[in-house]
Amino acid sequence: MKIFLIGFMGSGKSTVGVDLAHILGYRFIDLDEYIEQKHNLSIKLIFETKGEDYFRMVENETLKEVCSFEGDFVISSGGGTSCFYNNIDYMNKNGITVYLRAEVATLVSRLVESKIDRPLLWGKTKEELNDYIIRVLDERKKFYEKAQIIVDADIASPTDIAQLIVSAANV
Ligand code: S3P
């Protein structure tokens, strides 16, 4: 079984993914970290030196590569993975997709702390971050909402969210 966690930056995909993989005894793969290790470059540097289009191509290739691995695993995708190259349809065909849905206010408060590592958020004030999230979430929602399972990720702890996913996915 392959479980894909999808959703906006700051929705908790990586934290929940680690807990979920632990509960199920599955391997955990963070797609961004896998890309960084494979290319020996940070996501930040890939964006900076090669641009977003290149990153999206690499992201699509890497998603397919990790999907070909044997065994059970939980993958936390990047916030944009679902929205390019029909990746959401690919993930839906290859396993169970889970959208960690979070309110704009939750995302703003989390991302204001961690925007340094996220190239799409560089240099934004809190107000600009808020407007960016409203606009981009609105564009991306149609992809995220193709997930087979949708879980609210605002209040519950990562472990509780992981438990909810275990029940909903029936794994
Ligand atoms: C991106 C999200 C990031 C990373 C890249 C682009 C996006 O992943 O893949 O910076 O387009 O939303 P996280 O969602 O893990 O921050």
Q: Which of 117, 120, 138 to mutate to test the pocket of ligand 1 (most atoms within 8 A of CB)?
A: 120
**Which residues are bridge partners to 75 per DSSP?**
4, 29
Give residue for tokens 């996501």: 43
Q: Which ligand 1 atom is the nearest neighbour of the CA of 7?
A: 14
Nearest-CA residue for ligand 1 atom 9 is 78
Q: Is residue 45 part of a domain?
A: yes
Q: Taking 90 as the threshold, does the pLDDT of residue 122 lie above it?
A: no
Dig out the tokens for 145 from the structure.
Answer: 């909402």
Cβ atoms 94, 67 nearer than 8 A: yes
**Alpha-carbon separation of residue 150 from 3, 103, 115, 165 (angstroms):** 13, 13, 25, 9
Question: In this predicted structure, what is the pLDDT of residue 111?
Answer: 94
Give dist(CA 2, CA 134) in Å, integer: 30
Q: Taking 80 as the threshold, does the pLDDT of residue 9 lie above it?
A: yes
Question: In this predicted structure, what is the pLDDT of residue 123?
Answer: 87
Q: What is the pLDDT of residues 69-86, one digit of tens each?
A: 999 999 999 999 999 999
Q: Does residue 58 sit in helix, strand or coil?
A: helix
For the Cβ of 118 lying below 6 angstroms from any atom of ligand 1, the answer is yes
For the Cβ of 21 lying below 6 angstroms from any atom of ligand 1, the answer is no
> Amino acid identity of 109?
S
Question: In this predicted structure, what is the pLDDT of residue 102?
Answer: 98
Cβ atoms 95, 1 nearer than 8 A: yes
Tell me the residue ranges of DSSP E strands in 8-152.
Answer: 27-30, 73-76, 96-101, 149-152
Give dist(CA 96, CA 94) in Å, integer: 7
For the Cβ of 133 lying below 6 angstroms from any atom of ligand 1, the answer is no
CATH code at position 17: 3.40.50.300
Question: In this predicted structure, what is the pLDDT of residue 113?
Answer: 84
Q: Which ligand 1 atom is the nearest neighbour of the CA of 117?
A: 10
Query: How far apart are the CA of 10 and the centre of ligand 1, in A?
Result: 9
Q: Does residue 91 sit in helix, strand or coil?
A: helix
Q: Is residue 127 part of a domain?
A: no
Q: Is residue 148 part of a domain?
A: yes
Nearest-CA residue for ligand 1 atom 3 is 78
Quickly list DSSP for 137-169: HHHHHHHHTTSSEEEE-SSS-HHHHHHHHHHHH
Q: Is residue 121 part of a domain?
A: no
Mean of pLDDT values over 21-50: 96
Tell me what percent of the residues of the chain surpass a pLDDT of 70. Answer: 100
Question: In this predicted structure, what is the pLDDT of residue 93?
Answer: 98
DSSP type of residue 120: G
How many CA atoms are closer than 13 Å to the CA of 98, on its beta-carbon side? 28
Query: How far apart are the CA of 26 and the centre of ligand 1, in A?
Result: 23
Query: How far apart are the CA of 14 and the centre of ligand 1, in A?
Result: 11
Nearest-CA residue for ligand 1 atom 1 is 79
Q: Taking 80 as the threshold, does the pLDDT of residue 133 lie above it?
A: yes
Q: Is residue 52 part of a domain?
A: yes
Q: Is residue 128 part of a domain?
A: no
Q: Is residue 129 part of a domain?
A: no
Q: Which domain holds residue 155?
A: 2-102+141-169
User: How sure is the predictor about 114, in pLDDT bands with cuts at 50, 70 and 90?
Assistant: confident
DSSP type of residue 77: P
Domain count, the chain: 1
Q: Kindly report whether the global pTM for this prediction surpasses the value 0.85.
A: yes
Q: Is residue 135 part of a domain?
A: no
